[in-house]
């Protein structure tokens, strides 16, 4: 099917976009085309959120154009056409290479699950045939404070808490999509952290519903690097709200791949490599007045959990399960649920765990295969946002150390039948990743907390 679609649809075209505004909103409509297939997704930004009084229309228009270069991934994956043509504005070879790299590595899981084998060289060619070119110039205005993307999981909650000292200078960012339910866990977390409605910045992305119909007809589908879209959306909103820092919550383990012997990484657009590339792209082609970095990059999952445990008021509202998103629940049966359960298990009572998860997952025999994918080195890591196997093994070893009575089934199997190596505490508890872009004033917060 893949090769047939590539032949039938040789070109994906980013035709145009229109930015319209009224007294209340900016409305941006994008136009993508793959032969007879056309798509017109929309972005809506409520003007009441905007605090930048020196908005340059030409630059804002350029930022919305740039977002279209990221958002096209949602539609490009239908056919994986061998050529992408950019028509609204000109982009150079360096920019084309940046987007080719995002697509190739960000679609690694999509390739793997669809049985697609393509070299980087043969994957896609970018062509920019517009004469219209934006000439970079100094952006006006003073930028300060933080824009904090929140997803409702433990990581973004930790970032909210670490930056409480900057509360008055913080805005909280939410990306909402029409195909997905309201992120109730995110809003609940924001409220507990002490933020009000006026502190929330929303970027509304209305995907073209034709996507779903074409997926039903057999066009290709799969995971895209959503956090790459998030990076550009948050950058755009940082400009509209005069924020200097976009503060992500991606930890060190986001750098690890899922399939041994490959670079396939479900979390590629959360990795240090992507963060570095986007920062360089933004400085060169957008503006150097806004910085994008992850506050938790120097920590591992164990350290993040230790910080999260200081804030138990969030236990009943945080969510990370993709399957349970629609109902704002943990599904209690996927790898993400089991992973979070394992990481919290040593530090919570049975009653506390029961208030979060309806299923005592370490007693669930049906989850043994999922359990193995999380802890065994010779089994591929699940395609989910989960930590490194060494961190998970350490959490299980802490569980055996701290909970000696009523050992649950999977933990008992782990103790008696799994050939695991003891993870030295200093490797986990004293971990500090020096590959990061954290500003010095925020680095001090982490060192005090660690």
Closest CA to 202 of 178, 223, 166: 178
Are residues 259 and 388 both part of a single domain? no
Residues 191 and 333 in one domain: no
Residue-level pLDDT at 219: 93
Domain check: are 212 and 343 in the same one? no
Q: List the beta bridge partners of residue 292.
A: 246
The string over 229-258, giving b where at least 16 C-beta atoms fall within 10 Å of a residue's C-beta and e elsewhere, is bbbbbbbbbbbbbbbbbbbbbbbbbbbbbb
Q: Are residues 289 and 326 in the same domain?
A: no
pLDDT of residue 256: 84
Asked whether residue 334 falls in the same domain as residue 406, the answer is yes
Contact between 102 and 123 (Cβ < 8 Å): no
Consecutive H or E run containing 274: helix 272-285
Does some domain include residue 372? yes
pLDDT one digit per residue (tens) for the chain, 450 residues = 888 898 999 999 999 999 999 999 999 999 999 999 999 999 999 999 999 999 999 999 999 999 999 999 999 999 999 999 999 999 999 999 999 999 999 999 999 998 888 899 989 999 998 889 888 888 998 999 999 999 999 999 999 999 999 999 999 999 999 978 789 999 999 999 999 999 999 999 999 999 999 999 999 999 999 999 999 999 999 999 999 999 999 998 888 888 888 888 889 999 999 999 999 999 999 999 999 999 999 999 999 999 999 999 999 999 999 888 888 999 999 999 999 999 999 999 999 999 999 999 999 999 999 999 999 988 889 889 898 999 999 999 999 988 877 899 999 999 988 877 788 888 899 899 999 999 999 998 887 544
Residue 160 located in a structural domain:
yes
Per the CB < 8 A criterion, the answer to whether 82 and 121 are in contact is: no
The confidence score (pLDDT) of residue 448 equals 56
Q: What is the CA radius of gyration of the chain?
A: 22
Q: What is the pLDDT of residue 365?
A: 96
Shared domain for 267 and 371, answered yes or no, is no
DSSP of 211-256: HHHHHHTT-------HHHHHHHHHHHHHHHTT-SEEEE---GGGG-
Judge if 256 and 398 occupy the same domain. no
Cβ density class 77-86: b for 16+ within 10 Å, e for less: bbbbbbebbb
Residue 331 counted as domain residue: yes
pLDDT of 131? 86
Which pLDDT belongs to residue 450? 41
**280, 368: one domain:** no
Nearest in space to 31 (alpha carbons), one of 21, 39, 22: 39
Same domain, yes or no, for 270 and 416? Answer: no
Question: From CA 11, how far away is CA 6, in angstroms rounded?
Answer: 9
Residue 136, domain member (yes or no): no
Same domain for 285 and 386? no
Q: Do 192 and 155 have their domain in common?
A: yes
What is the extent of the structural domain holding 387? 321-429
39 belongs to a structural domain = yes
Q: Tell me if 310 is assigned to some domain.
A: no
Cα separation of 233 and 235, whole Å?
A: 5
| Domain shared by 254 and 329, yes or no | no
Q: Are 400 and 411 in contact (CB under 8 A)?
A: yes
Parallel, antiparallel, or unpaired: how do β-strands 42-46 and 146-149 relate? unpaired
Phi and psi of 20, rounded to 5°? Answer: -120, 145
d(CA 220, CA 118): 15
Question: How many domains does one find in the chain?
Answer: 2
- At 329 the pLDDT is 93
H helix or E strand, kind and range, residue 96: helix 93-106
Has residue 316 been placed in a domain?
Answer: no
Q: How many residues does the chain have?
A: 450
* Per-residue pLDDT at 148: 98
Domain-located, residue 441: no
């Amino acid at each position: 099917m893949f090769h047939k679609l590539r032949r039938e649809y040789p070109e994906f075209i980013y035709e145009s976009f229109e930015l319209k505004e009224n007294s209340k909103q900016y409305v941006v409509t994008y136009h993508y085309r793959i032969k007879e297939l056309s798509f017109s997704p929309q972005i809506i930004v409520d003007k009441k959120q905007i605090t930048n009084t020196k908005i340059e229309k030409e630059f804002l228009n350029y930022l919305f154009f740039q977002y279209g270069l990221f958002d096209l991934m949602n539609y490009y994956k239908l056919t994986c056409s061998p050529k992408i043509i950019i028509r609204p504005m000109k982009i150079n070879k360096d920019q084309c290479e940046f987007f080719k790299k995002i697509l190739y590595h960000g679609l690694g899981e999509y390739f793997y699950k669809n049985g697609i084998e393509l070299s980087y060289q043969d994957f896609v060619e970018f062509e920019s045939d517009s004469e219209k070119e934006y000439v970079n110039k100094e952006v006006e205005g003073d930028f300060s404070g933080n824009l904090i993307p929140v997803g409702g999981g433990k990581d973004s909650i930790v970032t909210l808490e670490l930056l409480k000292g900057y509360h008055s200078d913080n805005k909280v960012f939410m990306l909402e999509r029409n195909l997905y339910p309201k992120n109730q866990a995110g809003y609940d977390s924001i409220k507990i952290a002490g933020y009000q409605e006026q502190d929330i910045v929303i970027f509304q992305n209305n995907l073209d519903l034709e996507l779903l119909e074409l997926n039903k007809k057999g066009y290709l589908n799969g995971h895209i690097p959503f956090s790459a879209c998030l990076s550009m959306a948050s950058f755009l909103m940082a400009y509209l709200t005069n924020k200097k820092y976009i503060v992500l919550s991606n930890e060190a383990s986001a750098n690890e791949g899922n399939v041994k012997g490959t670079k396939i990484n479900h979390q590629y657009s959360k990795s240090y490599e992507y963060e570095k590339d986007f920062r360089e792209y933004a400085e060169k082609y957008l503006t150097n007045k806004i910085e994008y970095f992850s506050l938790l990059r120097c920590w591992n999952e164990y350290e993040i959990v230790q910080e999260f445990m200081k804030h138990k008021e969030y236990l009943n509202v945080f969510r990370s399960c993709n399957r349970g998103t629609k109902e704002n629940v943990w599904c209690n049966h996927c790898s993400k649920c089991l992973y979070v359960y394992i990481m919290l298990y040593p530090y919570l009572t049975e009653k506390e765990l029961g208030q979060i998860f309806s299923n005592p997952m370490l007693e669930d025999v049906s989850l043994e295969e999922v359990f193995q994918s999380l802890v065994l080195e010779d089994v591929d890591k699940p395609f989910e946002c989960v930590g490194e196997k060494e961190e998970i093994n350490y959490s299980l070893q802490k569980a055996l150390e701290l909970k000696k009575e009523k050992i649950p089934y999977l933990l008992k199997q782990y103790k008696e039948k799994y050939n695991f190596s003891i993870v030295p505490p200093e490797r986990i508890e004293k971990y500090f990743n020096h590959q990061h872009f954290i500003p010095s004033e925020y680095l001090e917060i982490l060192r005090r907390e660690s």
